[in-house]
Structure 1
Amino acid sequence: MEVDVPDRKKWEEMHNDILVKIFQTFDIFDLTSGIAQVCSTWRHAACDPFLWETLDLSMLKSNFIKIPLEPYVYVDGRSDKTLTRLLKISLNLSRGNISTLIFHFNLYVHDDQLTYIAERSPKLKRLVLPAWNRIKRTVICKAINMWQDLESLTMPSIANPLCIMEQISNNCKNFSQLKIMGPCDMFFAHTLATCLPNLKVLSLRCSMLFKDALLIILDGLKHLEVLNISHCVIIEVPPPPAPRKVLKELDELIIGKASRIREFVTCMDDVCVMCRRTWVDEGFLRWYKYEEGLWKDDEVRSLAI
């Protein structure tokens, strides 16, 4: 007796939507492993914009050592080659559709790599780039000039942020969210108030924050809706000869100025693990010492990863 067996589709004959759902379960290493070269059907699915809304490289770290001179890190050549390969394949498959780009805090991108990214991701809206030791200011400014849709940036604290903030102010009209991973002094605060007066969301969590800088932010950012200073070491610098001191709680002046903000997120608790860690690390958290991925956390949901 003969039994009719229904026609079975081959992999290359699968519907595009099904392939996209399968590819959606892959990480960046799987997506760039060569699946787009299997056949034209697979390549078409591998280029689907849905797969490339976010390019998440937060699991990729550079193999590096610290050095005493700029850029203060030396990155192994194989790490650079791995990153360059991933970027070339990803940005080719994405066809310019990446809107969110996330780097690990110990993934050290260099000038040529960032320029390559900027030229091929014109629709970028969110950038998480908390380490740019190897990127010249002129290069990051040129990249920002290309990202006119940029809305959110996670960045390190740097000595002279003026040119970068000016580029954002001049080119990114929808920019509204900023996270700084590092100390915030008065110069940084003045720069924010001058260049980004319409900023709506700001996170300074787990860092050293000077009281005067906080007051500048509260006075200067009139449109601020969310401010996160959780686990910060807040330093007050009184006139000489009085020594600087660490605030144990927020005073009435700060609380009064912050009362207009819709969401003012704070934590200054001696029993809080993150507060203790910020204190031990003197306001510059050494994320590598702690749980993997802890650096991705933020009390502000839109800035968490």
Structure 2
Amino acid sequence: MEFQKKRKIEAVVMEKGDSPVRRWEDLNINILVTILLSFDLFQLIYAIPQVCRAWRLACCDPLLWKTLDLSVLQSNFIRLPLKPYVYVDSPSEKKLTGLLNICLNLSRGNIQTLIFHTNLYVNDNQLTFAAERCPRLKRLVMPAWEKLEKPAIRRAIRKWKDLESLTMPSLEKPAYVIKKIARSCKKFSELKIMGTCDILFASTLVSFLPNLKVLSVRCTELSKHALVILLEGLTQLKVLNISHCIITEDLPPPAPMKILTELDESILEKASRLDKFLTCMSDSCIMCQRTRNDKGFMRWYKYEDLWKVDEVKSLAILKL
């Protein structure tokens, strides 16, 4: 692979003459940046900048840093029953700190999309550093927040005034995140929830993000009441994804909670105003089966990269 990329560069520099150019730093920076787009993140930050000053300068080009995708990086961790709920070993934290330091320095504030792996646990200092160095951030994919304190999350969101899209984890009390987004991120329009969307959370979304346009709550337990709140309250909503959800309905006692096998006409009528209403409640669907097996709270670590998938293209990291 390295040999092929070197030959690719040699072919480019030989276009203007019969003999190769001996000074790599003389290669046109636009051509070099185009070539660097084919390198992976670790080659880009650890190998290329060491060649010469001109190549390091090329590694700072904004074209290379529209997206910082750390979805290939995971922490070495142990889950705990009590707060902070996750223990991450020191080498993992140091590796992430070093990686963020290099990437965010090279990017020079040009990152617009920042993607963390569902099992990459960021601490308060790392999140604060990322917020300070990514002032133009528009999309954040951050499903693991167990190690973060509320003040750190609030500070980060306050920095991201241009934030438009968030993929967020399941939090015990997520309302403070939604309220902070409403106050700080006036362009916010897309939300993906990787956890339960109960009646309280649905009501919070309606109260604080009434102009939300795209919402995905796939692969979770969702009550019919919460779904009605979303459909009636989010009047600007264009796309709603409830694919593979367990849809429940509370019945008067002593009747047990009912799991719906299909959506009734009242729900479909409320959803008819949407541009896209994405659903799947099939017994033959593997993802629906997994949601049921996990009792409406997906254990994404069991399914490798499936957490990256979404039926809404703008929210997907891994395409269907």
TM bucket, shorter chain: over 0.9
Quote the Cα distance in structure 1 between the aligned partners of 2:18 and 2:220: 66
Q: How big is each residue's C-alpha offset from its partner over 1:153-186, in whole Å with a ceiling of 9 and x where there is no partner? A: 0001222222211111111111000000011101
Aligned AA (2:147): R
Gaps spanning 5+ residues in structure 1: where? none
Work out whether residues 232 and 278 of structure 1, in 8 Å CA contact, stay in contact via their aligned partners in 2. yes
**Which 10-residue stretch deviates more, 277-286 or 123-132?**
277-286
* 1:301 matched residue in structure 2: 313
Q: Does 1:207 pair with 2:220?
A: yes
Q: How big is each residue's C-alpha offset from its partner over 1:212-262, in whole Å with a ceiling of 9 and x where there is no partner? A: 111111111000000000000111112222211111111122111111111
* 1:57 matched residue in structure 2: 70
Gaps spanning 5+ residues in structure 2: where? 1-16
Quote the Cα distance in structure 2 between the aligned partners of 1:185 and 1:239: 18
Deviation, structure 1 residue 210: 1.2
Aligned AA (2:106): L
Aligned AA (1:302): S
Deviation, structure 1 residue 23: 1.6
Work out whether residues 161 and 191 of structure 1, in 8 Å CA contact, stay in contact via their aligned partners in 2. no
* 1:252 matched residue in structure 2: 265
* 1:82 matched residue in structure 2: 95
**Matching of residues 161-180 of structure 1 within 5 Å:** 161-180=174-193
Deviation, structure 1 residue 58: 0.3
* 2:146 matched residue in structure 1: 133
Q: Does 1:237 pair with 2:238?
A: no
Deviation, structure 1 residue 37: 3.3
- Corresponding residue SS for 1:238: coil
Please point out which of 101, 108, 114 is paired with 2:121: 108
Q: TM-score under structure 2 normalisation?
A: 0.91
Q: What value does the CA root-mean-square deviation take over the aligned residues?
A: 1.3
- Corresponding residue SS for 1:70: coil
Q: Does 1:43 pair with 2:56?
A: yes
Identical residues among aligned pairs (%): 61
Quote the Cα distance in structure 1 between the aligned partners of 2:135 and 2:97: 18
Aligned AA (1:140): I
Q: How many residues align?
A: 301
- Corresponding residue SS for 1:270: coil
Aligned AA (1:185): D
Q: How big is each residue's C-alpha offset from its partner over 1:113-148, in whole Å with a ceiling of 9 and x where there is no partner? A: 000000010000000001100111111111111100
Aligned AA (2:259): V
Q: Does 1:187 pair with 2:178?
A: no
**Which 10-residue stretch deviates more, 19-28 or 68-77?**
19-28
Work out whether residues 207 and 285 of structure 1, in 8 Å CA contact, stay in contact via their aligned partners in 2. yes
Quote the Cα distance in structure 2 between the aligned partners of 1:69 and 1:274: 30
Quote the Cα distance in structure 2 between the aligned partners of 1:157 and 1:237: 22
Quote the Cα distance in structure 1 between the aligned partners of 2:161 and 2:50: 33
- Corresponding residue SS for 2:192: strand
* 1:158 matched residue in structure 2: 171
Quote the Cα distance in structure 1 between the aligned partners of 2:24 and 2:43: 17
Quote the Cα distance in structure 2 between the aligned partners of 1:252 and 1:158: 32
Taking structure 1 as reference, are residues 254 and 112 closer, same or farther at Cα in structure 2, changes over 3 Å only?
same
- Corresponding residue SS for 1:29: helix
- Corresponding residue SS for 1:293: helix
Quote the Cα distance in structure 2 between the aligned partners of 1:38 and 1:8: 15
4+ long deviations beyond 6 Å: none
Please point out which of 275, 281, 285 is paired with 1:262: 275
Deviation, structure 1 residue 6: 3.0
Please point out which of 148, 158, 168 is paired with 1:145: 158
Aligned AA (2:315): L
- Corresponding residue SS for 1:113: helix
Q: TM-score under structure 1 normalisation?
A: 0.96
Deviation, structure 1 residue 72: 1.1
